[in-house]
Amino acid sequence: MFSTVLWWALALYLVTAAIFIIIENRRPQSTYAWLLAFAAFPVIGLILYLFTGRGWKAFSQEKEIAQEVVSGDLRTTLEKRIHRREEIVALMQTERPDEVDAPLMSLLAHNPGSILTAHNEVEILQDADQFYPRLLEDLKQAQHHIHLQYYIWTDDEFTQQVRDVLIAKAQAGVEVRALYDASSRSMMSKDYIAALTDGGVQFHPYLAYNSLRTLHLANYRCHRKITVIDGKIGYLGGMNLDREQMPGVAWPTWRDTQVRV
């Protein structure tokens, strides 16, 4: 009798676990791996999942924060720009028909939440030797705000220059806010971080995983590399704030791309 109840309990456990895993819409390999873990190690598998497998929590928290931050006038502005996507696509096709990639423009226009803008000047920077000097110069010219978000942010000869510029601008009254992925914390000295925060820079890690409660965030890193200066100049692409990305430092060549808009 006891064994029958135990088998039914195990079956109910596996079915319930399978439903939750499938609802999360994971990759097939991940789904099969977790189902196997639940079946082979009922108790241990559940504990591992609670601490490391709850990817939904990271994304739901990010969504809640985004909804809280994007409100009021900012939400109204974004919604207006989103509604103008088709208008901008038509404008670009009329003004520069030979330069517009129609399928790509259509894809971007139908991407939920995406914003298209026209009449921008775009410069492609093909390595750190091109990117880093331009970035430093633009940071020095900031008048109102500097916003940065980077995946890898190290403490080296180049980023010390970035630090000094950010501190100088913050002390001159410019709003300076920066996010770095929590995995970069070990790449920066305490003195480096303290100098920024003490100098008036709002400098914070993103998606920290410093306890068992937040261990499930370890696999969800923020790979963005973005700089926005005064709402007029922006950088985005594949280059981090790391001297090793400069050709000849860690490798003979380092091919990456950053775009200055």
Tens digits of per-residue pLDDT, 216-229? 566 667 889 999 99
pLDDT grade, residue 143 (50/70/90)?
Answer: very high
Domain count, the chain: 2
Residue 69 belongs to a domain: no
CB 237 within 8 A of CB 258: yes
Residue 123 has pLDDT above 90, yes or no: yes
Interatomic CA distance for residues 60 and 65, integer angstroms: 9
* pLDDT value at residue 85: 76
Q: For the chain, what is the mean pLDDT?
A: 82
Interatomic CA distance for residues 53 and 143, integer angstroms: 44
* pLDDT value at residue 172: 98
* pLDDT value at residue 32: 75
Interatomic CA distance for residues 205 and 76, integer angstroms: 29
Give the closest residue to 145 by CA, choosing from 36, 234, 261, 38: 234
Average pLDDT estimate for 169-185:
95
Please tell me whether residues 31 and 160 are part of one structural domain: no
Please tell me whether residues 212 and 125 are part of one structural domain: yes
Which residue's entry shows tokens 């208008």? 87
Residue 211 has pLDDT above 70, yes or no: no
| DSSP β-ladder status, 175-181 and 202-206 | parallel
Average pLDDT estimate for 195-222:
79
Residue 70 belongs to a domain: no
Instruction: Give the end of a domain, one of 53, 74, 95.
Output: 53
Average pLDDT estimate for 160-166:
98
Residues 6 or more apart in contact with residue 258 via CB below 8 angstroms: 125, 130, 131, 225, 235, 236, 237, 238, 239
* pLDDT value at residue 74: 67
* pLDDT value at residue 250: 80
Residue 180 structure tokens: 């770095």
Average pLDDT estimate for 138-159:
96
Interatomic CA distance for residues 158 and 257, integer angstroms: 18
Residue 207 belongs to a domain: yes
Please tell me whether residues 160 and 256 are part of one structural domain: yes
Q: Which strands make up the sheet holding 202-206, listed edge to edge? A: 123-125, 258-260, 233-237, 225-229, 145-150, 175-181, 202-206
* pLDDT value at residue 235: 98
Q: Which domain holds residue 162?
A: 121-260
Select the more confidently predicted residue: 212 or 260: 260
Indicate yes or no: pTM above 0.75. Answer: no
Average pLDDT estimate for 94-99:
73
Q: Any idea which of 11-20, 164-173, 178-187, 235-244 has the lowest mean pLDDT?
A: 11-20
Interatomic CA distance for residues 64 and 187, integer angstroms: 29
Which residue's entry shows tokens 């220059």? 161
Residue 243 has pLDDT above 70, yes or no: yes
Give the closest residue to 254 by CA, choosing from 137, 122, 152: 152
Residue 27 belongs to a domain: yes
Residue 58 has pLDDT above 60, yes or no: no
CB 179 within 8 A of CB 206: yes
Average pLDDT estimate for 175-199:
94
Please tell me whether residues 41 and 129 are part of one structural domain: no
Report the CATH number at residue 144: 3.30.870.10
